[in-house]
Amino acid sequence: MTRQIQIVGIGIHTKTSPCAHACRYCLMGRKSSDGVSTARHIAVVDRFIEWRARNKTSDFQIGQAVNYASNLSAEDQGQLMQLHKRLGWARLTMRIHLGGLPIWSDAEIAKWLRVRKASGVETVHGSLAGHGRIHDYWNNRKGDFDYLLKIFRFAADEGLGLRQRLFAIKSTLSILGETVALLDQAGEPVERYLMPFFYRGTALRHEQERISKRDLDALAPTAQYLLDRDDHRWRSEADWVSVLRNSSHDAEPISLQLELTARNIETIEKSSCDEILERLTKQTLTAYDAIPGREELLERWSDDQNTYIYPYAQDVERLWLDRYLRENPTKFERHLTHLTDRH
């Protein structure tokens, strides 16, 4: 049975700057720039904000992301912070990401942070996969852990809050305590959380690193405090089967996905919001019609004995869809669905 969906919004994504990293777990697709400026991205988002106000559809959700590194000009960064305010986003979004930055001198780092803070940035966010050589392996850049630690230290000196995501995978679990101790040297974080790999992007090549419920139980007491065992991030496939089997069977709320690229930006700019939504809705419904609905994926392609952990419902549903597609190769525009295997 095909999936019943309800379009509730639009997500607008643009890769405005290339990434200087090639992380082995990256969930992005290409890491080069799309050739669309941040200003053009913001202009498209603003048109949808105006469209929403004009049509008095305040519950229509508008998401947006400038993907990859926060290595944008200070002016672009400041413009994005203003956009977040126009979208009514929480202060959590007044942050910059440290992944994907080139290697800079100390003076360059300090200046970069100072200028971003002046443009409204409040926190910096970095992802870590263990420390030292293990982190450097996963982030595919020698010296990356020390570099990140240095930026955290400089950011704390500048008065910026520190947000740290620690990947909990087989090769980092035993050094979580050490990683935390090293990160503490940079200052107390405003947020520090553990995360398994997403089931998406290049992380799919490293499924042997996915942890199970048993691995969690064996976590050292010094790292247990980082875990909220009730959080959905620590559900196994078996847990998800039971949660989703008992969840509502109403139409699923879905956001349309609009990726701005050098190929489509002029067409998008010349089209009205209604035209864009109509076109994208048609393409999206066609994509969903080509694949089974969630209930069918769950009943026929899930494994209710699997104790490996998947952080989000979309992750486990992607897993089921992949099992289905292996036996039923299907051509469809996967990037338009919430089961996309990129960005």
Beta carbon nearer to ligand SF4, 100 or 311:
100
Closest distance of CB 84 from ligand SF4, Å: 20
Pick the binder of ligand SF4 from 7, 28, 87, 285 (CB under 6 A). 28
- Binders in 73-132 for ligand SF4, by CB under 6 A: 99-100
Beta carbon nearer to ligand SF4, 13 or 52:
13
Closest distance of CB 204 from ligand SF4, Å: 14
Pick the binder of ligand SF4 from 23, 94, 254, 287 (CB under 6 A). 23
Q: Does 336 bind ligand SF4 (CB under 6 A)?
A: no
Span interacting with ligand SF4, options 22-30, 46-54, 80-88, 152-160, rule CB under 6 A: 22-30
Q: Is the dihedral of CA 260, 266, 271, 275 positive or negative?
A: negative
x/- letters, 30..49, toward ligand SF4 (CB under 6 A): -x------------------
Provide CB contacts within 8 A for 263, sequence distance 6+. Answer: none
Strand ranges of the sheet holding 61-66, from the earlier edge strand across to the other edge: 61-66, 5-14, 252-260
Pick the binder of ligand SF4 from 48, 51, 68, 197 (CB under 6 A). 68
Span interacting with ligand SF4, options 20-28, 230-238, 326-334, 335-343, rule CB under 6 A: 20-28
Beta carbon nearer to ligand SF4, 28 or 285:
28
**Token representation of residue 296:** 């069918």
Closest distance of CB 24 from ligand SF4, Å: 9
Closest distance of CB 81 from ligand SF4, Å: 20
Q: Report the alpha-carbon angle 260-265-267, nearest 5.
A: 130
Rounded to whole angstroms, the Cα distance separating 299 from 18 reads: 41
Closest distance of CB 99 from ligand SF4, Å: 3
Say what the alpha-carbon torsion angle 143, 149, 150, 154 is, to the nearest 10 degrees. 160
Beta carbon nearer to ligand SF4, 30 or 47:
30
Q: Does 161 bind ligand SF4 (CB under 6 A)?
A: no
Rounded to whole angstroms, the Cα distance separating 169 from 167 reads: 6
Q: Does 22 bind ligand SF4 (CB under 6 A)?
A: yes
Closest distance of CB 27 from ligand SF4, Å: 7
**Token representation of residue 327:** 């036996």
Residues binding ligand SF4: what is the number (CB under 6 A)? 10
Residue 42 sits at φ, ψ, to 5 deg, of: -60, -40
Span interacting with ligand SF4, options 19-27, 206-214, 240-248, 257-265, rule CB under 6 A: 19-27
Say what the alpha-carbon torsion angle 269, 7, 16, 48 is, to the nearest 10 degrees. 40
Closest distance of CB 49 from ligand SF4, Å: 26
Closest distance of CB 10 from ligand SF4, Å: 22
Closest distance of CB 72 from ligand SF4, Å: 14
Helix intervals (H) in the chain: 38-54, 74-86, 106-118, 132-139, 144-157, 170-173, 176-184, 213-217, 221-224, 237-245, 265-270, 273-289, 294-301, 313-327
Rounded to whole angstroms, the Cα distance separating 260 from 214 reads: 42
215, burial (CB in 10 Å: exposed 0-12, middle 13-18, buried 19+): middle
Question: What residues line the site for ligand SF4 (CB under 6 A)?
Answer: 19, 21-23, 26, 28, 31, 68, 99-100
